[in-house]
Amino acid sequence: MGDDPVYLEAIERFSGVIETAHGLGLKEPTAMALATVGPDGRPSVRIVLMRGHDARGPVFYTNSLSRKGRDLAGNPHAALCFYWDRSALQVRVEGCVEPVKTSLSDTYWSQRPRESQISACASQQSQPLLDAAELELRFEALRREFADREIPRPDHWFGYRMIPDRIEFWTSRPARLHERILYETSPTGWTVQKLQP
């Protein structure tokens, strides 16, 4: 996959779109919808932030004990969707998700704002919240505990990489004659074709 010229073309196009998004003046230019499927077959979608990408695919970080983390543990197939209204562009990425190397998660964790680290340690993400004050107390207790030392990354908090097998670029056009360009894997390698809108 890494040296397939059609795939590399798709990744280059993706990088260009992301670069354009960063120039739009948006608060979160890398916000993307992440869709997963639970063991009961029920889909679930939420917005997460892409925190990096390269020729292997986009990367995001989260709590593996959250609903999305549990979904991905049981079924690594997932889909991402980026949409930027200001540039009338959309990108959809489908494939399998896998954990990134521990060293990469450690590096990203060390660069996070300290309060974000504390919050990730204090929150049992996706679990019922019986008392907001209790969560705030846990947060403050951790702030005091780690006041003068580094906060270790929890084992259940790490990065995931989407390994694409399908990437579609959509560009708005007049009269709804939108441009759609689909890159996808095949038994003989990556292919590219245009789709009707």
What share of the chain has pLDDT > 90, as a percent?
Answer: 86
CA distances from 50 to 107, 113, 166 (A): 15, 17, 17
- Confidence at 2, pLDDT banded by 50, 70, 90: low
Residue 18 lies in a domain: yes
Asked if the structure places residue 103 within a domain, the reply is: yes
Q: What per-residue confidence (pLDDT) applies to 148?
A: 87
The pLDDT, as a whole number, for residue 1 is 64
Q: Is residue 134 in some structural domain?
A: no
Q: Which of 189, 149, 152, 197 is nearest to 170 (CA)?
A: 197
Residue 144 in domain? no
Question: In the chain, pLDDT over 70 holds for what percent of residues?
Answer: 99
Instruction: Note whether residue 123 is domain-resident.
Output: no
Q: Catalytic: which of 46, 51, 176, 180?
A: 176
Domain tally, the chain: 1
The pLDDT tens digits for 56-106 are 999 999 999 999 999 999 999 999 999 999 999 999 999 999 999 999 999
> Could you tell me if residue 157 is left (phi over 0), alpha (psi between -120 and 50 degrees) or otherwise beta?
beta
Between vectors from CA 47 to CA 70 and to CA 185, what angle results, nearest 5°? 75
User: CA-to-CA distance for 163 and 11, rounded, in angstroms?
Assistant: 12
Residue 55 has pLDDT above 80, yes or no: yes
- pTM attached to this predicted model: 0.91
What CATH number does the domain containing 75 carry? Answer: 2.30.110.10
Cα 112 vs. chain centroid, distance in angstroms?
A: 16
Instruction: Choose between 183 and 137: higher pLDDT.
Output: 183
Residue 58 lies in a domain: yes
Task: Return mean pLDDT, the chain.
Answer: 95
Residue 87, domain member (yes or no):
yes
**Are 36 and 78 spatial neighbours (Cβ–Cβ below 8 Å)?**
yes
Convert 37-68 to b/e letters by CB count within 10 Å (16 or more is b): beeeeeeeeeebebbebeeebbbbbbbbbbbb
For the stretch 95-140, pLDDT in tens is: 999 999 999 999 999 999 999 999 999 888 878 878 888 889 888 9
**Are 78 and 165 in contact, with CB atoms under 8 Å apart?**
no
Residue 28's domain spans which residues? Answer: 5-109+156-195
Residue 161 among the catalytic residues: no
In a domain, 95, yes or no: yes
Query: What is the pLDDT at residue 108?
Result: 96
The residues that bridge with 175 in the sheet, in sequence order, are: none
